[in-house]
Structure 1
Amino acid sequence: MTADRQSDTQAAYTQIRSRILDGRLAAGCPISPRSMADELMLGHMPVRSAIQRLVVEGLVEVIPRKGTYVTAPTTMDLREIFEVRLALESTAAYLAAVNGATDGLMAAADQLRRVVDDESTDLHAEQRIGWAFHQEMFSAAKNERLFTSYRVLRAQSGLAFNELRHDDATTVRRGTLEHLSIYASIESNEPEAARRHMWNHIIDNTDARIRLIRGQQDKAS
């Protein structure tokens, strides 16, 4: 493979993968290599090579005599994903409390406090800050292998880690307050409390979150 072909394949891979992970290509969505090549203004061979990489990662599946589709995780897949998240994120919270809050984590917590104090009603903005909080917590854990495992799981499970939007203000605010409880334990260097709060945060409404994801998939199919 020439250097140009490798470069185009990487570009196609990055762009298609990004579309899957941010929800622009939803679970069950068909992917036409020819249409995708035209959309990305890249050659057909690099796009096909990129799609094959995504098949290996589990983000895309090829169904014989039907076509290529974004992988839709089963209910069992989703439950296993959340169980692994439970282990990774509770451990990250524990380690963050051992190491102490970073500037990034403090900034995320400050934003969450302002949301509560200002009685903000911008639910999507509130959720984005919450997602940033999780990222900063992994940085504060200072364990690159743990963070890499989290990123790999994200890449393999796409939809379950996508920015699932809730329109229920009570649910969103409860999540914000849970984040602040986690942060308080990290700031106080209480690792067991931080682990417990994160464990409860992930396990809270897991079944409802799985139903929400499955419902979105059913609508898309």
Structure 2
Amino acid sequence: MTEDRQSDTQTAYAQIRSRILDGRLAPGRPVSPRNIADELMLGHMPVRSAIQRLVMEGLVEVIPRKGTYVTAPSNIDLREIFEMRLALESTAAYLAAVNGATDGLMAVADQLHRVVDGESTDPMAEQRIGWLFHQETLSAARNDRLYTSYRMLRAQSGLALSELHRVDATTVRRGTLEHLNIYASIRSKEPEAARRLMWNHIVDATDARIKWVRDQPSDDVLR
């Protein structure tokens, strides 16, 4: 019975955490143990244990006399998150240029080139490729500690580091061209240029992302 409860707790923990990190549970949204238990077909105790674990990780907060909510980062939190992102990703671009582009990074860059050369565009698909570019740049740094630090930052900040969906095709395309400029510097092994271009790219998107996180609606159920 104890082993089953631990297994159910781990299942609930993984499911709720996944929804927080991919944006399905947005900052400020209520987290109802009863609704979650019903949806996942688990007992209330394992779900409550999973939520307590998420509280300890800072992904969920309990507000007295109100309920349990996905943690909503303050403006200070968001600024600190993006300052960390600036440090980590600009350093990753620098190291990727020192070490040379990986097969994964070259494959993503090839997808970006095909998007730019094509006549039809899908902004959402183009954005997803752009997000892969950031992940592959971190991998191309070949620094496990740096990559682990980024993963930890993402786990702590959830939606603030998830993909920012835009409907403005012009803005999306500008980001794609910036990615290709960063890649060109990495491919030609120009570390300082790659670092500077990545820094400017992230700074350009910071205010828009913070506004987007702040504007996300709250719902009463886990979706």
For 2:124, the equivalent position in structure 1 comes to: 124
Distance in 1 (CA, whole Å) between partners of 2:26 and 2:108 is 28
Does the 8 Å CA contact 2:30/2:218 hold for their aligned counterparts?
no
Does the 8 Å CA contact 2:109/2:180 hold for their aligned counterparts?
yes
SS at match of 1:159: helix
For 1:149, the equivalent position in structure 2 comes to: 149
SS at match of 1:62: strand
Q: Which runs of 5+ in 1 are unaligned?
A: none
Across the two proteins, how many residue pairs are aligned to each other?
Answer: 219
Distance in 1 (CA, whole Å) between partners of 2:22 and 2:206 is 21
Q: CA deviation at 1:215?
A: 2.2
Does the 8 Å CA contact 2:27/2:213 hold for their aligned counterparts?
no
Q: CA deviation at 1:6?
A: 2.0
Task: Give the counterpart letter for 2:39 in structure 1.
Answer: E
C-alpha offsets along residues 173-215 of structure 1, whole Å, 9 cap, x if unaligned? 1100011011111111111111111001101142232222212
For 1:70, the equivalent position in structure 2 comes to: 70
Q: How does 1:8-27 map to 2 (within 5 A)?
A: 8-27=8-27
Task: Give the counterpart letter for 1:122 in structure 2.
Answer: D
Q: Compare 145-154 and 43-52 and name the one that shifted more.
A: 43-52
Does the 8 Å CA contact 2:27/2:70 hold for their aligned counterparts?
yes
C-alpha offsets along residues 30-73 of structure 1, whole Å, 9 cap, x if unaligned? 11112111111112111111111111111110001111001111
- Say yes or no: does 1:192 pair with 2:179: no
For 1:179, the equivalent position in structure 2 comes to: 179
Task: Give the counterpart letter for 1:14 in structure 2.
Answer: A
* Divergent runs of 4+, >6 A: none
Q: TM-score if structure 1 supplies the norm length? A: 0.95
Q: CA deviation at 1:168?
A: 0.9
Task: Give the counterpart letter for 2:23 in structure 1.
Answer: G
Q: CA deviation at 1:123?
A: 0.5
Does the 8 Å CA contact 1:28/1:72 hold for their aligned counterparts?
yes
Distance in 1 (CA, whole Å) between partners of 2:58 and 2:120 is 38
For 1:114, the equivalent position in structure 2 comes to: 114
C-alpha offsets along residues 62-121 of structure 1, whole Å, 9 cap, x if unaligned? 001111001111122111111110000001111111111111100000000100000442
Task: Give the counterpart letter for 1:88 in structure 2.
Answer: L
For 2:218, the equivalent position in structure 1 comes to: 220
SS at match of 2:29: coil
Q: Compare 184-193 and 200-209 and name the one that shifted more.
A: 200-209
Does the 8 Å CA contact 2:59/2:156 hold for their aligned counterparts?
yes
Task: Give the counterpart letter for 1:189 in structure 2.
Answer: K
Does the 8 Å CA contact 2:90/2:199 hold for their aligned counterparts?
yes
For 2:31, the equivalent position in structure 1 comes to: 31
Query: RMSD over aligned Cα, in angstroms?
Result: 1.4
Distance in 2 (CA, whole Å) between partners of 1:3 and 1:108 is 43
Q: CA deviation at 1:22?
A: 1.4
Distance in 1 (CA, whole Å) between partners of 2:120 and 2:55 is 41
Q: Which has the higher contact order (CA 8 A, sep 6+)?
A: 2
Q: Which runs of 5+ in 2 are unaligned?
A: none
Does the 8 Å CA contact 1:105/1:133 hold for their aligned counterparts?
yes
Q: Compare 131-140 and 200-209 and name the one that shifted more.
A: 200-209
For 1:164, the equivalent position in structure 2 comes to: 164
Q: TM-score if structure 2 supplies the norm length? A: 0.94
- Say yes or no: does 1:100 pair with 2:92: no
